[in-house]
Amino acid sequence: MLSVAEANDCVLRRAETRSSSRVSAVDACGLILAEDITSDVDSPPHDKAMVDGYALTTSDLPHTTTLRVLEEVTAGDVPTLTVVSGTATRIMTGAPIPAGADAVVMVEQTRSMTRDNIESVTLDTVALHAGANILPRATSLRRHDVVLSAGHLIRPIEVGLLAEVGRAEVAVLPPPRVAVLATGNELVPAADVPAAGQIRNSNGPLLQALVARAGGIPLDLGIAPDRSDALGERIEAGLSGEVLLLSGGVSAGVLDLVPAALAAAGVQQVFHKVQLKPGKPLWFGCLIDESCSRLVFGLPGNPVSSLVCFELFVRPAIAKMSGRSEIHPPRREGALTRAHVQRGNRPTYFPSILSEQAGNLTVEPIDWQGSADQRSLVAANGLAMFPAGDHDFSPGDLVSTIPL
């Protein structure tokens, strides 16, 4: 039986990025850039006023401190007159500096007056060096500069920069489409009232929500009964995406038809069962055709096993297929708040409450009725990892954790 690390390696080796597609820069947030981005502008595009005030020539100072106002330039305007000795142009933040001017005095350090229709300004300061309150053209970036490279994660900051350099649309690596199919004769949709022997399909909605949170695009395939023809049909539909998640039908019972139905659809088994608790019956296979490989996960039918397998194997696959460099969520060590008994030859991932206290992480394994107990799971915000082997853990012992 494969270890978790070996199984992970099998999955990630087959997880490929999709070909790039173009989306609006705002929609690209959270995705990986698939092209180098070159600026088509200088930024700022002109020597720019950094304050509201008067553009002047510092060679007038300190002897001339009353200047005739030529015109007013606001952001979006273009100056029409050259500032010469004895003159100034009233200027607003962001506006282009007129020819001849080499500094801007802040409006708060001036008094303006108008007499005989001629406007003038008197400076309260002469402490002004050339370049004062001017941001020179191309300070921040130059035309033809590569401002972002392919592979970069697009965050809101990058969305702003893309807009500045003229990219309303960009090429990104699209996240994988992940089809979710719950299997089992006993399942009815959440909106239905279960008859005797039936339960509602909770894994389908759980997995769709996990896919969306992991950055994948969930596709809901509903519920397939345990019949080869129905399973085959849904599996075919599910293979239109890059990943297919099946829940249920992979343990050893007589109605566990899923592996056979997958084989019939051309999906080759890569592994079945992993040294892991819960989640041991995990099935993983791959359909390879000319265009790309599709990953198929047969997840155990109970919610916590599904959740653990998703966190350990599906989430990293979605991250890699999305082109992200951080494939595995960061793991942190935390100190147990209570004793915990670990038994058996499989590492155990136990739902736990992780709390941050003054920079230290504490880990409280939840009171829990076993892997079908969704209700108690609500208290958990992480998984604590207990290595294989019989060991009695004491309060204060350090364990590795995965945040949920």
Interaction residues for a copy of itself, span 140-179 (CB under 8 A): 140-141, 145, 147-148, 152, 155-169
Task: Report if residue 303 touches a copy of itself, rule: CB under 8 A.
Answer: yes
Q: Which of 116, 330, 390, 394 binds a copy of itself (CB under 8 A)?
A: 330
Q: Minimum Å distance from CB 166 to a copy of itself?
A: 6
Q: Minimum Å distance from CB 181 to a copy of itself?
A: 15
Please give the Cα distance from 318 to 314 (Å, whole number): 6
Please give the Cα distance from 404 to 400 (Å, whole number): 13
Task: Report if residue 362 touches a copy of itself, rule: CB under 8 A.
Answer: no
Q: Which amino acid is at 65?
A: T
Which of 83, 81, 126, 86 is CA-nearest to residue 101?
83
Window contacting a copy of itself (CB under 8 A); options: 15-23, 63-71, 227-235, 366-374? 366-374
Task: Report if residue 375 touches a copy of itself, rule: CB under 8 A.
Answer: yes
Half-sphere exposure (CA, 13 Å, Cβ side) for 386? 26
Please give the Cα distance from 210 to 91 (Å, whole number): 54
Restricted to residues 48-77, the positions that interact with a copy of itself (CB under 8 A) are: 48, 50, 52, 72, 74-77
Task: Report if residue 129 touches a copy of itself, rule: CB under 8 A.
Answer: no
Q: Which of 82, 139, 240, 268 binds a copy of itself (CB under 8 A)?
A: 139
- Give one word for 201, left, alpha or beta, with left for phi > 0 and alpha for psi -120 to 50: beta
> Distance from CA of residue 75 to its chain's centroid?
35
Window contacting a copy of itself (CB under 8 A); options: 123-131, 183-191, 257-265, 391-399? 183-191
Task: Report if residue 396 touches a copy of itself, rule: CB under 8 A.
Answer: no
Please give the Cα distance from 291 to 286 (Å, whole number): 13
Beta carbon nearer to a copy of itself, 126 or 332 = 332
Q: Which of 16, 280, 332, 335 binds a copy of itself (CB under 8 A)?
A: 332
Q: Which of 5, 127, 130, 212 binds a copy of itself (CB under 8 A)?
A: 212
Which of 100, 102, 95 is CA-nearest to residue 128?
102
Q: What number of other Cβ atoms are within 10 A of residue 356's Cβ?
A: 10
